[in-house]
Amino acid sequence: MLFKKVPEKYSLSADFSANTDLSVAEPSGDQTWWMPDIKRRELKQLMQRQDRKPLFNYLLWLTLLVGTGVLAFFTLGTWWAVPAFLLYGTIYSSCDPRSHDLGHGATFKSRWLNAIFCNLCLFMTLKEPIDWRWRHTRHHTDTIHVGLDPEILVTRPADLLRIAADFFFIMQAKGELKAIIPHAFGVVTHDASHYVPKTEWKKMFWSSRFYLACILGVIAWCVAIGSIVPLLFIWGPRFYANWLNYFGFLSQHAGLAEDSYDHRLNTRTFTMNPVFEFLYANLNYHIEHHIYPSIPYYNLPVLHKMIKEELPYTYTGLVDVSREVLPVLWRQAHDPGYFTSRTLPPVKASRVQPAFSAAPAPAE
């Protein structure tokens, strides 16, 4: 077998009450999430959405996407195609982090704008909307809780080959296709049955059929013209230019505590230069995003400044955070009980609130 079998305890069918790692990450069993001390009035201001700022951002992104796509097309057949497609692919792959904020309905004030861009970004990254929205909701509700969170990318012991394969989006794409194909034929996958409400199944089936038809259509297009050029522009960038998302997503939770009710212990925040933060849609402010998923991406840096004294160390760039993550993954491959234990600041104003479900935006 090329990849190791994922440990049974990570399956959504696992007996969560029998999870022996519960006491490792968090001694408290009251099932409450840590929340920062922030005034309700200030929180409401941060949650205010608008159309102008994100629309400018997304139109700029689409302009860059089209411009670099045209450039890449005219370099076909030359060595200039390598850097040209890498540039196009990097901008294209920005669709993945953008879909997160959009999936919560948090980006645009106008729901129709949010729906259009959310469905576009999810299509570009090969994620069927209904399954993904509810799966991602579960991820926010039970972040890195073994047997409950279906989006744990790095399990223990760490499978280094599986982790490395995702540099080229291989494992994530495989997971998406393993859901799209059976759903297209009206068969609910085991995982989806745990988080997608039955009332959503019919929509999920038809959405999956649309996705499967598009996938087969693009493949047929490639066969008909005897070229993979269509795939270089559609979905292909997720495989050949996934580098920024790879290190970004790996930095979010990998190597941190499982089964914790404090996002500061199972999630990282890291800063990047303005260009990378534009491409990554500020998802690097990941602790903030998990605490308040309804806050638009353009307000996450503001929230970070407001609560930074209550947060653990904020990494300065992908190199800084990778210096911690990569050695931890190597050690976890041999010692599954090991994880990075984060030092929290002794802030007296800290408080807790009941756990909540970050419900997805209604599909439109």
Q: Which amino acid, 254? A: A
Is there a domain that residue 170 lies in? Answer: yes
Note down the domain range covering 209: 43-354
Rounded-to-integer distance, Cα 344 and Cα 330, Å: 24
Please report the beta strands in 14-58, taking only residues with DSSP state E, as ranges in sequence order.
Answer: 32-35
Task: Please report whether residue 189 resides in a domain.
Answer: yes
Whether 242 is in a domain gets the answer yes
Q: Indicate whether 203 belongs to any domain.
A: yes
Would you state the structure tokens that stand for residue 127, as one six-digit string? 């994620």
Q: What are the pLDDT digits (tens) for 290-343?
A: 999 999 999 999 999 999 999 999 999 999 999 999 999 999 999 999 999 999
With a CB cutoff of 8 Å and minimum separation 6, the contacts of 123 are: 211, 214
Q: What pLDDT shows up at residue 25? A: 40
Asked if residues 155 and 10 have their Cβ atoms less than 8 Å apart, the reply is: yes
Least confident piece of the model among 5-19, 80-94, 141-155, 283-297: 5-19
* Residue 239, domain member (yes or no): yes
Give CA–CA dist 270/101, Å, rounded.
17
Within-domain flag for 27: no
Residue 18, pLDDT score: 42
180 domain-assigned? yes
Amino acid at 327: P
- DSSP state for residue 298 in the 8-state scheme: G
To which residue do tokens 């989806």 refer? 192
pLDDT of amino acid 106:
95
Give the mean model confidence (pLDDT) for residues 232-238.
98
Number of domains in the chain: 1
Q: What is the pLDDT of residues 298-309, one digit of tens each?
A: 999 999 999 999
The span from the CA of 21 to the CA of 306, in Å, is 33
φ/ψ of 347, rounded to 5, equals: -95, 120
Residue 73 included in any domain? yes
Q: What pLDDT is stored for residue 8 in this prediction?
A: 85
pLDDT tens column, 97-119: 999 999 999 999 999 999 999 99
The crossing angle, in degrees rounded to 10, of helices 201-225 and 129-141 is 120
272 dihedral zone (left: phi>0; alpha: psi -120 to 50; beta): beta
User: What is the pTM (predicted TM-score) of this model?
Assistant: 0.90
